[in-house]
Amino acid sequence: MQFNINVIIVCFIIGQMLCNAQDGTTTMVMLTMAPRLDCSQFKTDVEIKRSLPFPVYLDSIITTRTHAVINATQHITTLYIYNESHVPSNIFCLKNLVSLTIVGTPFNHGHLDYEAGVIPDELGNLKQLTTLQIYNTRITKMTDELGKLKQLTTLRIYNTPINKMTDQLGNLNLLSTLDISNSPINKMTDQLDNLTNLISLTLANCSLSSLANLSKLTSLSSLIAHSNPLTTLVGLRSVNTLDLHNCQFSEIPVMTTPTALTTLNMEHNQLVFVDHLNDYQYLRTINLNGNKIEEVLPFFKPMPYLQTLILSNNQLSTLPKDIIQLPSLITLSITNNTMSASELQAIKVNKRATMNIIM
């Protein structure tokens, strides 16, 4: 008697051909599994550098190529990877690395190190890292291990397709500069308010329609969030620079300490009235170009430092006399409004001699 025996054999060999035998036939199948990173094979950072699949220049004068900085104890403290074929996993063995910058270099490009576009968990090995910058690189996901980089003070992710940030970002208590720009990210972590040492926050040209409450960010001095579908900010305390141009605001955001603000850019929003503008007494530059502003109230509080006021492309028919006589105002732009010829002439006559009016 003959027995029909079906035999299926799967041989897992990392990075090599697998055999799949069924009913006496054999088909060769390529399966890949990410090899486990083994840093014990390297005794020094120099060995790690030499294992990389591209040249790394030490203390290079030319910065537009891959280079590194090595200290007196032969530890690599800075690594700058520029336009290479892929990011090799061995760099995550550089445990003395303080600064890592990756430009135009994909995470996995036909290589077996890890999943394409995903920053691997091995990032968490770099516990001395204070600066992490990734530019012009395809990223689809940030590892949760980011939260282990407790020394990180600067994080910049620019021009990548990442659309969500891990909640572990909120564990980076020393972070002072956060810049995630030119990406389709549509939701920032709700743990953003844990970053109490944050000084500069840039979330420009993304797809954010809201941000978490900012009331705990007591050190924040610069907020740049232009080119987003934002309509409101909650809990804004005290910043020097506020750039919200190309958003969807219908009013200027309220700040707990408005006198801290020196630069305000709300160009191309949906502003109709700006009644609280005079609360920001220490402003030096105001850009309200391209809104729907119908009226600017007289400034009853002094604004002694205002040098530039841009009100072009609105619906203003007049301006209060006290505005055109502000003591430090150098440039006033009022082109493309609804002012009559007689109104424009009156502004010319009453302006200070040193003021430049663009009409």
Domain ranges for the chain, please list them.
1-33
The two tokens of residue 100 are: 């890592």
Q: Are 275 and 252 in contact (CB under 8 A)?
A: no
pLDDT digits (tens, 9 = 90+) for 78-123: 999 999 999 999 999 999 999 999 999 998 744 444 566 889 999 9
Return the half-sphere exposure (C-beta side, CA atoms, 13 A cut-off) of residue 270: 8
pLDDT score of 350: 86
Q: Which residues contact 92 (CB under 8 A, 6 or more apart)?
A: 37, 39, 120, 122, 123, 125, 126
Say if residue 28's pLDDT is above 50: no
Q: Which residues contact 200 (CB under 8 A, 6 or more apart)?
A: 176, 177, 178, 179, 220, 221, 222, 224
Q: Are 183 and 160 in contact (CB under 8 A)?
A: yes
Rounded CA-CA distance 172/164 in Å is 17
Q: Sorting pLDDT into bands at 50, 70 and 90, what band is 37?
A: confident
The two tokens of residue 86 are: 């892929």
Rounded CA-CA distance 230/246 in Å is 9
pLDDT score of 206: 97
The two tokens of residue 49 are: 């550098």
Say if residue 13's pLDDT is above 50: no
pLDDT score of 35: 57
Rounded CA-CA distance 32/112 in Å is 7
pLDDT score of 18: 41
What is the pLDDT averaged over residues 3-16?
Answer: 39
pLDDT score of 353: 86
What is the pLDDT averaged over residues 234-255?
Answer: 95
Alpha helical stretches, state H, the chain: 45-51, 341-350
pLDDT score of 5: 41
pLDDT score of 183: 95
The two tokens of residue 204 are: 């420009």
pLDDT digits (tens, 9 = 90+) for 112-162: 445 668 899 999 999 999 999 999 999 988 999 999 999 999 999 999 999
Mean pLDDT, the chain, whole residue set: 88
In angstroms and rounded to an integer, the radius of gyration of the C-alpha atoms of the chain is 28
The two tokens of residue 79 are: 């690594």
pLDDT score of 108: 72
Kindly state the DSSP code that residue 36 receives in the 8-state scheme: P
Kindly state the DSSP code that residue 194 receives in the 8-state scheme: G
**AA letter at 179:** D
pLDDT score of 115: 63
pLDDT score of 67: 96
What is the pLDDT averaged over residues 336-341?
Answer: 96
Q: Are 65 and 44 in contact (CB under 8 A)?
A: no
What is the pLDDT averaged over residues 314-319?
Answer: 96
Say if residue 253's pLDDT is above 70: yes
Closest CA to 287 of 316, 310, 313: 310
